[in-house]
Chains A and B, each alone.
Chain A
Amino acid sequence: MDRRHFVKTTGALSILGAAAPFATQLAAAGAAAAQSAPDYKALVCIFLFGGNDANNMLLATDTGSFDRYFRARNTGADPIALMPVGTERTPVGATSPVTGRVAQAATPEAWGGVLPIAPRTAHTTPDGVPRSFAVHPFMPGVQALFAANRLAAVANVGPLVRPITKAQYLARSVPTPANLFSHNDQQSVWQAGAVEGARVGWGGRMGDMLASQNGGASLFTAISTAGNAVFLSGRDIIQYQLSTAALPALVVNGATAASLFGSSSAPAGLREIIQGASANHFMQFDHTAVTARSMASATTLNSAFAAVGTGVAAPPAFVNPITGLTETNSLAVQLQTVARMVASSNTLGAKRQVFFVSLGGWDTHDFQNRNQSANLARVSHALTYFDSVLGSVAGVDRRAQVTTFTASDFSRTLNTNGDGTDHAWGGHHFVSGGAVNGGDLYGAFPTIGVDTAGFVNPDMVSSSGHLIPTTAVDQYAATLGAWFGVGAGDLATIFPNLGQFSRPNLGFV
């Protein structure tokens, strides 16, 4: 066997040496006595477009941290500070004992206190004060998954070229990624390690490395329900778009029907044209190639999904916690399509798949209270739903085979601009799945608070409060990749800066 294959194989074998995930798989196999899960793994990227303010998603609730957080955010026309752990919800129209303000549906006073989570590993502040943590009051699902050890939190992740201290950042003595704080560039940096214009992303590169395991189904190695994403583009692997309808592939009616505008032979003519029979210029070829791919696989995909049928339950109703209205949670709908693909994977012959789903609306320069909180509720609802459907796919628990992780352009400023926040840098993320070493917080949770006369925060820069990441996206991604089956050598290729950081594998999965 050639060296590349050898490296890949040993990379795959090395996974078995990690006790926790294998033990979980054994447990899952034991639980589903009659059927066993096929050999399958999936990475699912939930991209939160716009830059999620993770300061309000995962909080440090030790007194010092929370006080500084609260002081920074309990101000302005529409204060965004969440309420301390244990605070009762203040009914709408009543006065909050915490802030003295009248609660409305879209104010934190009405939501009750943040929900505590208890990481297995003890964390302390730099002064040795034991730390405690909590999540946004609208994320009870996340709280429950954390307690069930199927969800982990990773602290203060952000793009880095190499580790950087505050002093180095201020002195500009260590390189940082270009165009920090620019949406499109940071979306690209998160997904592809380079600013806008990048054509290859790390999800696609991981797909490149493992696509051979998919054989003829390598066409479905990288799947998106959220439009073209550089994350999924590999050197060879091309992403494949699915719609979120019950049948995911859209059929070109006129090209597949028995007749078209009164002609029984015209469908074939249309079919040939849209797939490139007349193309004589490379821009034309590039367009018709997509159509050809779409038509080639539509029947296969739709048959496989049809066989799944109602086997993957639809998401439960999502009630917007601010408005009280029932809405469609587009994130949950996308994850249903992913679950259907997981259910179809055996039929299709796909063994290693990377998925990209997304939720927008995170750029909360204003109306952060009502917009971000509803969005966090969507994430919690969707993760809970996904965990639940994957728990029994055709009677088999597939949760240990699917690892879902959040990503976002950046986090946001600790300080408020009155009713929202601006672009920042490092932020916290969640990783969810049966193979995840959940119930714990990974990475170094940063000190919270902007610099003041008596307080200097080594992890935060700018008077608005940007966190300098303490974990690099490379490390976060490489940890996911290692679980997925990408060997150490290949990881070093995909993430050339990985060696700059102390730990290539953070151990959360």
Chain B
Amino acid sequence: MEQVTITSAAAGSPEFAALAAEAAGETGGVSLGWAAFSVGTVASVAATTAAVLPMVTETLGPVDGGTTSTTPILPDTGKPVTPLSAVDASRFLTQATFGPTDSTVGLLRNIGVDAWLFQQVWHPVMASHRAYVDARLVALRAVNPQAQLNATHVYETFWREAATAPDQLRQRVKLALSEIFVVSMADPAIDVRGAASYFDMLGENAFGNFRTLLEQMALHPMMGVYLTHLANQKEDLNTGRKPDENFAREVMQLMSIGVYLLNEDGGVRMDGAGQGIPSYSPNDISELAKVFTGFSWYHPTPTNNTFFGGSRNVNSYVLPMIPYPFYHSTSQKSFLGTVIPAGAANPAGDLRIALDAIFNHANVGPFIGKQLIQRLVTSNPSPSYVARVAAVFANDGQGVRGDMKAVITAILTDGEARQFSWAASHPSYGKLREPVVRLANWMRAFGAASVSGNWLVGSTSGGTLLGQSALTAPSVFNFFRPGYSPPNTRMGTAGLVAPEFQGVDEVSVAGYVNTMQTAIGTGIGTGSDVRAGYFAEIQLARDPAALAERMNALLCCGHMSSVLRTKLIEAVTSVTIPAPTPTNQAAVDTALLNRSKLAVLMAMASPDYLIQR
């Protein structure tokens, strides 16, 4: 199957406009084909919320996108809102967003964690990555009619949203989901626009039901391409050809159940011989693979030819795969204790049964819950923490299983996440911040802006850069494994896991500091497009102790060590500010700016910052 490039409808042509309109007509994530399968649509959820909840409209500051958004406010429960300290606010936002800013710290302290979370999990989806790249292509083609999209255009919209979107929790959770339900643009078969729409899909489902997320993920054509179940054909007993097992294996191994049966606290259940009990067998995989047959490219009038990719257009890469009964296995399918009897080809029905079986497996709560905790809060959650979150996955309190609003809320409101006293008394608590998150932290904390408006950061995958770019993992196993335990380290010796340490080596540690030095100093991306002005820091720069404390508040969540503080103050002080004269204002400004940049670099390079606790 050859990649179809967008030449069939030139940008600006009536055909392109018609196709774009057709795609855009499916608003808020609802699109042709979903209706046949979905449990509920975003549009209907939004309608429900508007009907029963009071709404507030606010205009957010430039750092948060300068947008106007209408969000529900938490009904007054009569519970007093415990005021949050600045440090606790910073710590919460470190977990729940791409990093604290002055305004979000202020907002959070004003309304409290519960209200903030409520606003965020009910927040309407603000931006579409796919719409961004579509508009980008139109603009590019106005200059060069042969222009094509590439991965860097997806990075543009990723960084814009990470740095400025008001629905920060969704953005942060979306990144976390993209590291579990991995699709990677490192695979040349992945269409850029398709990847953007895949990322949108994750965001649309971040606070929906996990069952819906599973389905929309399974039917997204980019997942179909990445894990090769798109155009997967039923078995052929004559030739011995069997269905491709790739997706069947990985959806269980990586995206729902995991390799071993788990207790609700995330621990591996042991048999009598102290071995883990496999949660599925090779036979389960082969049988489940038969379910994922007969799904392929969307087409308004599907034929055998369109199953194999004929007559694709721009929307083939973004619309959900559709069933082609002719290619769907009709034999009996027996997996995970479920049996689908042989019979007439029923791809949609078989898919529903299979996804229900997977969704209802007892492993899913602890397996997914623990990984989300690892992405947001700590690498080694206590078994009780995992169990509490898994319990919410199983039942959100209203009898619903898989309610992601409730699960994310549970993760972030749990005492183990909120109380620094837990961290202080449990050395195993904490995690290494991901490289991409670190750069986003910088953008947000210091109000970085894009000169071009397009956030031209480009790829940050190189070992001399960050070693990571969103949606560009080396494989379906993500940038790091949830169970990675770094060899020859104190963590490893203590039997702890540290997933993000998988990318830490003698080259990448240097690459990170060098990358931040340049970003902080002059900016990052094409033409140093994304750069910060440090306006607040310059105001403090004559007072090195105040500058250090600001770094502590924004970057170290209040636990900057005295050694770092001393060395930071020392270094900042060593940048001489010339005595002001009528003619040397520029030199004075440069010195204040240098002091600010130096403080930021030393803080962001420090272990006090890198390890989030």
Which A residues are CB-close (under 8 A) to B575? 261-263, 266
A243: interface (CB < 8 Å): yes
Which B residues are CB-close (under 8 A) to A286? 486, 489-491, 498, 501
Assess whether B610 is in contact with A287, with CB atoms less than 8 Å apart. yes
Which A residues are CB-close (under 8 A) to B591? 262
B581: interface (CB < 8 Å): no
Q: What 1/0 mask marks residues of chain A from 449 to 473 whose CB sits below 8 Å from any chain B CB? A: 0100000000000111100000000
The CA-CA distance from A413 to B491 in the complex, in Å, is 39
Partner of B228 from the list A234, A262, A293, A420 (CB cut-off 8 Å) is: A420
Which A residues are CB-close (under 8 A) to B611? 281, 283-284, 287
Assess whether B567 is in contact with A255, with CB atoms less than 8 Å apart. no
Assess whether B490 is in contact with A287, with CB atoms less than 8 Å apart. no
B311: interface (CB < 8 Å): no
Binds B, one of A87-95, A272-280, A496-504: A272-280
Assess whether A254 is in contact with B481, with CB atoms less than 8 Å apart. no
Assess whether A269 is in contact with B464, with CB atoms less than 8 Å apart. no
Q: What 1/0 mask marks residues of chain A from 173 to 210 whose CB sits below 8 Å from any chain B CB? A: 00000111111110000000000110110001000000
Assess whether B233 is in contact with A269, with CB atoms less than 8 Å apart. no
Partner of B514 from the list A239, A252, A282, A416 (CB cut-off 8 Å) is: A252
Residue of B nearest to A241 (CB): B505
B432: interface (CB < 8 Å): yes
8 Å CB interface, B486-512 against A: 486-492, 494, 498, 501-511
Partner of B605 from the list A184, A274, A282, A422 (CB cut-off 8 Å) is: A274
Assess whether B494 is in contact with A282, with CB atoms less than 8 Å apart. yes
Most A CB contacts (10 A, CB to CB) among B236, B243, B561, B574 go to B574
Given known contacts A241-B508, A277-B563, A284-B610, is B571 in contact with A422 (CB within 8 Å)?
Answer: no
Assess whether B244 is in contact with A420, with CB atoms less than 8 Å apart. yes
B253: interface (CB < 8 Å): yes
Partner of A240 from the list B308, B506, B521 (CB cut-off 8 Å) is: B506
B313: interface (CB < 8 Å): no
Which A residues are CB-close (under 8 A) to B472? none
Residue of B nearest to A358 (CB): B474
The CA-CA distance from A27 to B598 in the complex, in Å, is 59
Given known contacts A233-B487, A269-B602, is B504 in contact with A463 (CB within 8 Å)?
Answer: no
The CA-CA distance from A260 to B479 in the complex, in Å, is 32
Which A residues are CB-close (under 8 A) to B594? 261-263
CB distance from A433 to the nearest CB of B (A): 27
B564: interface (CB < 8 Å): yes
Assess whether A463 is in contact with B607, with CB atoms less than 8 Å apart. no
A366: interface (CB < 8 Å): yes
Assess whether B494 is in contact with A254, with CB atoms less than 8 Å apart. no
B475: interface (CB < 8 Å): yes
Q: What 1/0 mask marks residues of chain B from 567 to 583 whose CB sits below 8 Å from any chain A CB? A: 11011001110000000
Partner of B477 from the list A183, A204, A291, A465 (CB cut-off 8 Å) is: A183
The CA-CA distance from A19 to B508 in the complex, in Å, is 44
A418: interface (CB < 8 Å): yes
8 Å CB interface, B544-563 against A: 561, 563
Binds B, one of A149-157, A223-231, A482-490: A223-231
Given known contacts A183-B477, A269-B602, A278-B607, is B509 in contact with A283 (CB within 8 Å)?
Answer: no
Partner of A291 from the list B232, B253, B509 (CB cut-off 8 Å) is: B509
The CA-CA distance from A200 to B314 in the complex, in Å, is 48
Assess whether A422 is in contact with B507, with CB atoms less than 8 Å apart. no
Assess whether A261 is in contact with B490, with CB atoms less than 8 Å apart. no
Which B residues are CB-close (under 8 A) to A7? none
The CA-CA distance from A185 to B503 in the complex, in Å, is 18
Which B residues are CB-close (under 8 A) to A297? 506
Given known contacts A270-B605, A273-B602, A287-B504, is B244 in contact with A365 (CB within 8 Å)?
Answer: yes
A23: interface (CB < 8 Å): no
Assess whether A417 is in contact with B242, with CB atoms less than 8 Å apart. yes
The CA-CA distance from A364 to B504 in the complex, in Å, is 29
The CA-CA distance from A252 to B594 in the complex, in Å, is 19
Assess whether A288 is in contact with B607, with CB atoms less than 8 Å apart. yes
A367: interface (CB < 8 Å): yes
Q: What 1/0 mask marks residues of chain B from 460 to 485 whose CB sits below 8 Å from any chain A CB? A: 00011000000000110100010101
Assess whether A250 is in contact with B514, with CB atoms less than 8 Å apart. yes
Assess whether A241 is in contact with B571, with CB atoms less than 8 Å apart. no
Binds B, one of A72-80, A117-125, A140-148, A377-385: A72-80
Which A residues are CB-close (under 8 A) to B240? 72, 415, 450, 463-465
Task: Given contact pairs A184-B477, A255-B513, enumerate 20 new A-B contacts (beta carbons under 8 Å).
Answer: A199-B487, A199-B488, A227-B502, A228-B486, A233-B487, A242-B507, A250-B510, A250-B511, A251-B510, A261-B521, A265-B570, A265-B571, A272-B567, A281-B607, A282-B490, A287-B432, A297-B506, A298-B510, A417-B243, A420-B228
By a beta-carbon cutoff of 8 Å, the part of chain A in contact with chain B is: 49-50, 72, 75-77, 178-185, 196-197, 199-200, 204, 224, 227-228, 230, 233-234, 236-243, 245, 249-255, 260-266, 269-270, 272-274, 276-291, 293-295, 297-298, 360, 363, 365-367, 413, 415-418, 420, 422-423, 450, 462-465
Which 6 pairs between the two chains have the least Cβ-Cβ distance? A284-B607, A233-B487, A241-B505, A294-B506, A250-B510, A278-B564
> What would 5 A/B residue contacts be, using CB atoms closer than 8 Å?
A75-B239, A269-B570, A286-B490, A416-B241, A464-B286
